[in-house]
Structure 1
């Protein structure tokens, strides 16, 4: 029993039904984490203490053993604070705040890349005014190389590198997962 406050008559803690619902939500979150690839998992704010349990879950193929390991993973996850679990859920949610920020940073990086390629030194001066810690020489070289690639119809290696550099600059140091429309096979060739 969870007991009642003798003065107000209110219940002291959450009901068993609520505790069970919360535990099942954490279990479902653990299942989602176990289904992710290592690269996807690296992008999430998952504490280091949970990573070995998630990897162990992936390795187990037997149904009952996997179910038992998922339950153990959920138990370990329930030991984390609510803010950590909320941050993980938000990062997994494609409509969450973290996803919106990431998409906005991608769009800003793409817009700056096009401005730099079309506007030249004036656009670079505006970018450096907004981000004084940027490497002027590297950006100028990437812009020149990307323009040259366009003229000669070469593979867009510098074009992509310029995007990565801009995204890193705009997102505050976080490297982008991949440029929109950029395939895994292209990365291996570049």
Structure 2
């Protein structure tokens, strides 16, 4: 006896191999693992399901290797129900912000170094930032030069960096506006 053919067209069925499914699940787990180091404010911007959010927070507290591996697998399982695109966007944005932060620190370091080599840079800094204590700035520059000359620990060199840092603020973090989460203060 012949079997009846089903009326379903074969075009609507998408075949996925077991290997593809496993690689997708592994990729989601890896993506979930990247969320563990983020702080609560950054996680709140993603509007994750409560269960996933709680699993990520719990993973931060786990120290045993076996338990950490199980928690990461659990996070990977929960990630199956989440759209990974906003997470990828946030991680890419944070990587860019990290680059901006590094560029800002390098800018401060170059300014400090140029202050030690060119007195005009100190004058320009004072002109650009009239609230700076001129005497303190010049003394830090002198002491940093003396430390370098005598090969002593760079205490004034670090203090000069801190002073410059007060007057040249870190660039704002665009795109990380946090919508007031209700449960953030419970812990």
Paired with 2:75 and 2:136, the residues of 1 have a C-alpha distance of 45
**Consecutive unaligned residues in structure 1, runs of 5 or more:** 1-5, 129-134, 175-190
1:1-190 alignment, distance < 5 Å: 15=16, 20-31=22-33, 34=36, 41-42=38-39, 46-48=42-44, 52-57=54-59, 58-59=61-62, 61=64, 63=66, 65-77=67-79, 79=82, 81-88=84-91, 91=94, 97-117=96-116, 118=118, 119-125=121-127, 128=128, 136-138=130-132, 140=134, 143-150=137-144, 153=147, 155-156=155-156, 157-165=158-166, 169=169, 171-173=170-172
Residues 25 and 73 from structure 1, CA distance in 2 versus in 1: closer, same or farther, beyond 3 angstroms? Answer: same
1:25 CA drift (Å): 1.7
Paired with 1:121 and 1:106, the residues of 2 have a C-alpha distance of 21
Deviation per residue, 1:105-164 (Å, 9 max, x gap): 222121222334532222443xx3xxxxxx631375663342243256472242231353
Deviation per residue, 1:4-25 (Å, 9 max, x gap): xx8xx5x687956655434312
Aligned-partner SS, 2:131: helix
**Consecutive unaligned residues in structure 2, runs of 5 or more:** 1-8, 148-153, 174-187
Paired residue total:
145
1:60 CA drift (Å): 5.3
